[in-house]
Amino acid sequence: MQTELTVAQAERLIRETVPTWPAETVALDAAAGRVLRQNVLAERDLPPYDRATMDGIAMRWRAWSAGQREFPLEGMQSAGQAPGALSNAGAAWRIATGAPLPRGADTVVPVERLSETNGGVRVDDDYRPKRGQFIHTQGSDRRAGALLLKEGQRIGGVEMALLSANGVARPRVAPDPRIALVSTGDELVGLDSRPESWQVRSSNGPAMSALLARRGFGRVTAAHAPDEPEALAERIRTALSGSDALILSGGVSKGAKDYVPGVLTELGARPLLHRIRQRPGFPLWFGMHGEKPVFGLPGNPVSSLVCLRRYVIPALEKAQGAPSPAPEHATLTKDATFKPSLTWFLPVRLATDSDGRLLAHPRPTNTSGDFASLARTDGFAQLPAHRSRFPSGRPVRIFRWNG
Amino acid sequence: MQTELTVAQAERLIRETVPTWPAETVALDAAAGRVLRQNVLAERDLPPYDRATMDGIAMRWRAWSAGQREFPLEGMQSAGQAPGALSNAGAAWRIATGAPLPRGADTVVPVERLSETNGGVRVDDDYRPKRGQFIHTQGSDRRAGALLLKEGQRIGGVEMALLSANGVARPRVAPDPRIALVSTGDELVGLDSRPESWQVRSSNGPAMSALLARRGFGRVTAAHAPDEPEALAERIRTALSGSDALILSGGVSKGAKDYVPGVLTELGARPLLHRIRQRPGFPLWFGMHGEKPVFGLPGNPVSSLVCLRRYVIPALEKAQGAPSPAPEHATLTKDATFKPSLTWFLPVRLATDSDGRLLAHPRPTNTSGDFASLARTDGFAQLPAHRSRFPSGRPVRIFRWNG
């Protein structure tokens, strides 16, 4: 087991350890928010036909170019109808936006440039159509077979448009993992109890569930366990049996009642990492139970949310087959000082200025129990261990709660 | 009815028209992702008791200061137990992280600085505790009654922690609105059909649903209507009756089969806006049916997604009681040119550089039908109408698909 690793070492160890879950196929309407686990190629040319982009007439440009201004109309070409055909070089069809170009036509003249005549239309004298205008030509966006979506992308609006348009009725996607949360601590009482003055209400379960939900993880169950080895073991066994990943909070420090690492090991988890050179979150524990990642996060609300965002969510996303996101940087707007030679996760509020600089406004907490100070923060900055002064104006790496 | 408004005028008109939906109370575990519609005050001091932040002993600093180094132990103070009391000024208790300070103690000495003696502990000779150290003092984060969360915030991890800790079992939140999508267009076929060469698969319904889902709107139903007034009216009537907001795509241009505005008006919708000086999305229609906002978006996939993000989602968020988000700016990384005197929505990929500048990499589309080019974009830039050249390095306002 590794101990007191740096943040970078811990991140690498976790990333290299966590397996990639096997893909599954789901109905397309259940795929929103999932990580795509296949490439998507264009099924047909995009667009699949020469498509009018204006309402007007479809005609042959050479007829206009040879001096013809009045066009007899042979029909109406609507969207969704098989394309008609010009019967001769001087004919035209009415056409609607989105309709396929009738055979023989090569140009669309918009309705605003036409006047009605007896049985036809007349192109305005002062109007000069360009050959091929107002046609979205077949295959001009992408050719059939072109790569449209790459494996690893999370399915949002754009990805769903491309999956639908290409008829991918059952895409291969990453599973939506079952995540079990177990919070420990005898000082915790439930939402329905009135806490004694020395007790606090349990908040890590709901908070971690909500953060996971905002990142697309919807199958989360939360339970509480007392600071007592037998009961804790029983709770962990249950949680492990019904989940793909286990996240505990509390019970990982050096105190007499910090049973989590010992109980996990007894239950067959392989301990891989304990303690990271960081604040908050120093006591973090990580191991594997069979193929299931197990995280023991410190119980303070700030520590558990920071560690969830910094380590657990990237590990879950890696297991889903998503590539590592590009690091994000912002500029500190206030001096910050931190003496210990530990990496410091400093909560920040993010905003851009009108020049397009991303600004990180520090919102330091009193202690790692001071979660009231997290209200209205957008995430945290990661400030390196080998410095103690972080002046205003310095670019720093940031992590968004929801980003 | 207003027509051909600027983007700013249209935005204001929509914002001023859309009502704020009445709040509802829900069980806390159903509140994640909702907009909070109440302030949350601290129920008790935070922390609610003098709380040890290290494992060690709790003692009285004056005893140490007077030269005492060995401390007899009177008990173990665990988290979740009512605080004990030092029986005399020279006594001490073992204490665990998170436990309440025993009465009479004012300082915690960590276990790493102690050695065991017969019936007690000895503080290391070279260790100098500070008075009051390793205690997270009652009320030091927030006093009872302090404002913790303000009305209008969306409930993520941090907000859920504060709601739980303060015992807000049934918060007042905005409703999760029922949103009906109706896509029109005779050229559209379903996912299960094999399209003819002049047809395309319907993609706006699934794409808009997925984009709405990423923004926390989960109660979305999608239907398709043909380009035929009676059938369209029937579909719209059904959609209106079961929803809080209606979004149509297609059928809002000037073509012969663009029945949407006419049918909506016949069904009693009050038309307020048609056409915005922008590309894509020029033909956008907006009105109210009773208290329900109705949006008629252009049918091209790029137009409908851009208009959904630019107008519909902010309107829905306003109706939920969320404040207008601060505008976000980024720097263009490539020259872009756009001749028409219309506001241009230019798809971009976003990234920060190591100096903390937010960069917008232009990903122009071929036409507003070219949704393949939206793959791997993060949103779009809004480029003002009165300019045609947008040089690299210029700061521009941006909108994120998911942000």
Dump pLDDT digits (tens) for B6-34. 999 999 999 999 999 999 999 999 999 99
CA distance A14 to A270: 13
Residue A312 near residue A11, CB atoms below 8 Å: no
Q: What is the pLDDT of residues B131-180, one digit of tens each?
A: 999 999 999 999 999 999 999 999 999 999 999 999 999 999 999 999 99
- Residue B202 in contact with partner chain A when CB distance is under 8 A: yes
d(CA B230, CA B211): 30
Interface residue A183 vs chain B (CB under 8 A)? no
What is the structure's pLDDT at B256? 79
A285: helix, strand or coil: strand
Instruction: Indicate the residue of B28, B197, B401 with minimum beta-carbon distance to A157.
Output: B401
CA dist A349 and A377 (Å) reads 4
Here the tokens at position B125 are 């000779």
Say which DSSP state B30 is in: G
The sign of the CA dihedral A53, A54, A60, A62 is negative
The verdict on A27 touching B (C-beta cutoff 8 Å) is: no
B197 closest CB neighbour out of A48, A209, A352: A48
Interface contact A372-B208, CB threshold 8 A? no
Contact B352 A330 (CB under 8 A): yes
Q: How high is the pLDDT of residue B97?
A: 87
> Strand, helix or coil at A390?
strand
Buried b / exposed e over B275-311, threshold 16 CB at 10 Å, is bbbbbbbbbbbbbbbeebbbbbbbbbbbbbbbbbbbb
Cβ contacts of B66 within 8 Å, gap of 6 or more: none
CB contact under 8 A, B162 and A357: no
What is the separation, in whole angstroms, between the first and last Cα of chain A? Answer: 32
> Does A333 contact B at CB distance below 8 Å?
no
- Other C-beta atoms lying within 10 Å of the C-beta of residue B20: 12
Rounded to the nearest angstrom, the minimum Cα separation between B397 and chain A is 8
SS3 at position A165: helix
Interface test with B, best of A358, A361, A376, A402 (most B CBs within 10 A): A358
A 48-87 residues inside an 8 A Cβ radius of B:
48-49, 51, 53, 55, 76, 78-83
Radius of gyration of chain B (CA): 31
Radius of gyration, alpha carbons of chain A: 31
- Least CB–CB distance from A351: residue in B162, B326, B355: B326
Contact between A352 and B377 using a beta-carbon 8 Å cutoff: no
What letter does residue A277 receive in the DSSP assignment? S
Taking only the tens place, the pLDDT of each residue in B253-280 is 877 789 999 999 999 999 999 999 999 9
Question: How many secondary structure helices (H) and strands (E) does chain A include?
Answer: 8, 29
In this predicted structure, the answer to whether residue B368 has a pLDDT above a threshold of 90 is no
Here the contacts of B68-72 (C-beta below 8 Å, separation 24 or greater) are B69/B122, B69/B123, B69/B125, B70/B117, B70/B120, B70/B121, B70/B122, B70/B123, B71/B120, B71/B121, B71/B122, B71/B123, B72/B119, B72/B120
Cβ contact, residue pair A136, B367, below 8 Å: yes
Number of H helices, E strands in chain B: 8, 29
Cα–Cα distance between A265 and A247 in angstroms, integer? Answer: 15
The secondary structure of residue B85, as a DSSP letter, is: B
Flag if A371 and B162 touch (Cβ within 8 Å): yes
Q: What angle do CA A47, A52, A57 make, to 5 degrees?
A: 160
Give the end-to-end CA distance of chain B in Å, rounded to a whole number. Answer: 32
> E-assigned strands of A144-266?
147-149, 172-173, 178-184, 188-189, 200-201, 219-225, 245-249
Q: Facing residues of B85 across strands?
A: B103
Q: How far apart are CA A329 and CA A362, in angstroms?
A: 14
Q: Which of B207, B256, B366 sits opposite A164 (nearest CB)?
A: B207
Interface check B301 vs A, CB under 8 A: yes
For chain A, 403 residues long, give each residue's pLDDT as a single digit of tens. 999 999 999 999 999 999 999 999 999 999 999 999 999 999 999 999 999 999 999 999 999 999 999 999 999 999 999 999 999 999 999 999 889 999 999 999 999 999 999 989 999 999 999 999 999 999 999 999 999 999 999 999 999 999 999 999 999 999 999 999 999 999 999 998 899 999 999 999 999 999 999 999 999 999 999 999 999 999 999 999 999 999 999 999 877 789 999 999 999 999 999 999 999 999 999 999 999 999 999 999 999 999 999 999 999 999 999 999 999 999 999 999 999 999 999 999 999 999 999 999 999 888 777 889 999 899 999 999 999 999 999 999 999 999 7
A355 CB-near residues (< 8 Å, 6+ apart)? B329, B331, B395
Question: B interface mutation test: which of A162, A187, A208 has the most B CBs within 10 A?
Answer: A187
The answer to whether B359 and A353 have CB atoms below 8 angstroms apart is no
Q: How far is A188 from chain B (nearest CA, A)?
A: 7
Task: Report whether the peptide linkage leading into residue A280 is cis, meaning its omega lies within 30 degrees of zero.
Answer: yes
Angstrom distance (rounded) from CA B226 to CA B205: 14
Is the pLDDT at B367 greater than 80, yes or no?
A: no
The rounded distance, in Å, linking the Cα atoms of B395 and B381 is 10
Exposed, middle or buried: residue A14 (CB in 10 Å: 0-12, 13-18, 19+)? buried
Calpha distance A79→A50 (Å, rounded):
11
- Count CB atoms within 10 A of the CB of residue A46: 26
Q: What is the pLDDT of residues B224-238, one digit of tens each?
A: 999 999 999 999 999
Does position B327 have pLDDT exceeding 90, yes or no? yes
DSSP 8-state symbol, B97: T
Distances (CA, A) of A206 to A11, A241, B78, B241: 25, 21, 24, 35
φ, ψ (nearest 5 deg) of residue A262: -65, -45
pLDDT tens by residue, B90-108: 999 999 988 999 999 999 9
Taking the C-alpha atoms of residue A347 and residue A338, their distance in angstroms, rounded to an integer, is 13
Asked if the C-beta of A124 comes within 8 angstroms of chain B's C-beta atoms, the answer is no
Within 8 A of A99 by CB-CB distance, chain B residues are: 187, 198
Pair B308, B211: CB distance under 8 Å: yes
Global confidence as pTM = 0.95
How many residues in chain A? 403
Peptide bond into B47 cis (omega under 30): yes
Give the Cβ contact number of residue B240 at 10 Å. 21
Tokens 């923060």 belong to A377
Residue A335 falls in which region: left (phi positive, over 0), alpha (psi -120 to 50) or beta:
beta
Inter-chain CB proximity B142 and A372 less than 8 Å: yes
**CA dist., res. A235 & res. A182, Å (int):** 8
Q: Do B42 and A372 touch (CB under 8 A)?
A: yes
Which residue in the block uniquely carries the two structure tokens 């209606």? B246
pLDDT at position A253, please? 86
Note the pLDDT of residue B71.
98
